[in-house]
Structure 1
Amino acid sequence: MSTLLRSVFKSSTIKCLANSLRQNEACFPKRQFTRTLWHMCPSMNGEGRPKNLYKAASSSKLCSCGCGIMHAHTKSEKELVDFLSEEITQERKLLKSSTIPVEVDGFKVKLNGSEVTLTKTAGDEIIEVNFNVNHSVDTDVEPEINQTANKPQLGEMKSKPVFEVEINRGGRTLGFTCSFLSSGESQSDDGYNDLFAIDEVTLYEGDWKDTNYAVSGEILDGYLYDLLMNFLDDKGITNEFVEKLTEFSTVYEHNSYISLLESLKKFASGN
């Protein structure tokens, strides 16, 4: 009997506690209380979203150098821009011409970045001269060092690139790789005063392949070498042509160098 009374009493107590909890929950609903905290938070906007998460990043301040752009220059960038401005001005004073010729000694000019192609048609032959102005500049004369002078007098800067001559006839191509000779090398023992030398000779059909055979000009028979130089002379690859080639290459390389300086200045200034 006592066991039955304890069970009834325990069941009544649990029901009373459950009813009490439900009454309290009705008075303070969880969802309503949470939304109240959400709207009371100072970091929320009117739509109930965190302000900082949806706020666009503030723009950086204008550069203090007066360039008027949204960029903060470092000291090194400012110094680089100042130097480039002076350098561009000086280089433009030394520039021989800002106009690039469209023809060189009867050869038509085609430009592709640093690469230059000169083309001429003679009968059933197509003669092409190809070269690249990159890394082609050197002083024309070795400077004479004067111990009392602040700066040595340097020779004129000239572009003397390695160039390739291709003579195409009936699908076959006779190719020469040539390079400029230094002032000391141009005068040979036999009295010739060549401005350039043949470095390599090849003959192939169709398009060039790396597997095509080529021979170095240094190991050619001396008489054969002279005959090939005469052959090039007949095709218009003469000392006079090579002089005009280096004049063209010098102007084009110098204009390319100034363009690089100007682009570098824009990059450093953030434009």
Structure 2
Amino acid sequence: MASVLRQPVLALTSKFLQISPKTVVVPVFKALTAPQIAARGLSQTLTLNRHLWCATSTSSIFNKTTHANKQGKLCSCCSLHTEGDEKLATFLEKEIKDEQRTVQTATTVEGWDVKTDGTGVILTKKFNDEIIKVEFDVNDSVDSEQPIYEEEQAEVPELVSKPQFEVEIEKKSGRKLRFFCQFSSPEPQFADDQGTAPQENIEDQFSIVEVRLGDDVKSGDVDKFYAHSADVMDGTLYDLLMDMLDERGVDDDFINNMVAFATAYEYKLYLKFLEDLKSVISEK
């Protein structure tokens, strides 16, 4: 229900604020900043994020023209608000009520301590003498539960939060091993010429993008440390590093719980965004 309701909101906001839907959500990745991501070639894996859904919406409300003139002056018949502001505030009020009917219940990740700061989330746990930390940011993390292969499908896929994330293993000595990870994109499955259903391939839910080893980076620039990309990594080494993460609790069960928490937390922030947006639009 929620995925259907939230599709037009940001695109609608973009229309009345006269900005591109692509600039509505600014990606923030606290563990690895946007310039660092671009420099290291961490590709975006989101197959369908919210602003793309909004840009392709065919709702009739997007076909209406604004009530301001070309110079952007306020309409003389609307006091302090334009007619567009009034329509947007009314729409947001209804949207908020509809979204509040959807219950998001994931409030923790089993076996991990959870801390949040704005859009950032940090999960920590102990493993023997090590401290395991998983850090991610829910901004620009919304993706469809299932990939869309056709322009028209009977059901709209559910939206979930699948952020890029960093796993840090801190040894007793203070040395740290860092893994930068992203969710894997499922490949489309097609039946063969005889109509036989394709066999399901077992794939990891996430992949390692790069690995970095170094001492505490507080005393220097993180970019001074060598980072080994998975694109050129030996296959056996890659498998053993994935096993290392699995043994420390970064396994399929953890990923499922992390996605559930991230989805609920992102939804909470999204709902607050709608409420704050309505409050700003309704100011006189």
TM-score, normalised with respect to structure 1: 0.66
Q: Which residue of 2 aligns with 1:168?
A: 170
User: What is the CA–CA distance in structure 2 between the aligned matches of 1:122 and 1:182, rounded to whole Å?
Assistant: 30
Cα distance change of structure 1 residues 181 and 144 upon mapping to structure 2, 3 Å threshold: closer
Percent identical pairs in the alignment equals 40
How many residues are treated as equivalent by the alignment?
193
Question: Is the aligned partner of 1:111 residue 2:121?
Answer: no
**What's the offset of the Cα at 1:72?**
2.6
Structure showing greater radius of gyration is 1
Structural mapping, 1:50-129, within 5 Å:
72-97=80-105, 101=107, 103-129=108-134
**What's the offset of the Cα at 1:104?**
0.9
Question: Is the aligned partner of 1:133 residue 2:143?
Answer: no
Q: Which residue of 1 aligns with 2:156?
A: 154
User: What is the CA–CA distance in structure 1 between the aligned matches of 2:246 and 2:147, rounded to whole Å?
Assistant: 29
Cα distance change of structure 1 residues 145 and 110 upon mapping to structure 2, 3 Å threshold: same
Cα distance change of structure 1 residues 132 and 162 upon mapping to structure 2, 3 Å threshold: same
Gaps of 5+ in 1: 1-63, 66-70
Structural mapping, 1:4-83, within 5 Å:
72-83=80-91
Q: Which residue of 1 aligns with 2:275?
A: 262
User: What is the CA–CA distance in structure 1 between the aligned matches of 2:223 and 2:142, rounded to whole Å?
Assistant: 28
Q: Partner letter of residue 174 of structure 1?
A: L
User: What is the CA–CA distance in structure 2 between the aligned matches of 1:192 and 1:105, rounded to whole Å?
Assistant: 25
**What's the offset of the Cα at 1:143?**
4.0
Gaps of 5+ in 2: 1-76, 189-198
> RMSD in angstroms over aligned alpha carbons?
2.4
Q: Partner letter of residue 177 of structure 1?
A: F
Tell me if structure 1 keeps the 8 A contact 2:147–2:186.
Answer: no
User: What is the CA–CA distance in structure 2 between the aligned matches of 1:136 and 1:268, rounded to whole Å?
Assistant: 26
Higher mean C-alpha displacement, 159-168 vs 74-83: 74-83
Cα distance change of structure 1 residues 229 and 248 upon mapping to structure 2, 3 Å threshold: same
Q: Partner letter of residue 217 of structure 1?
A: A
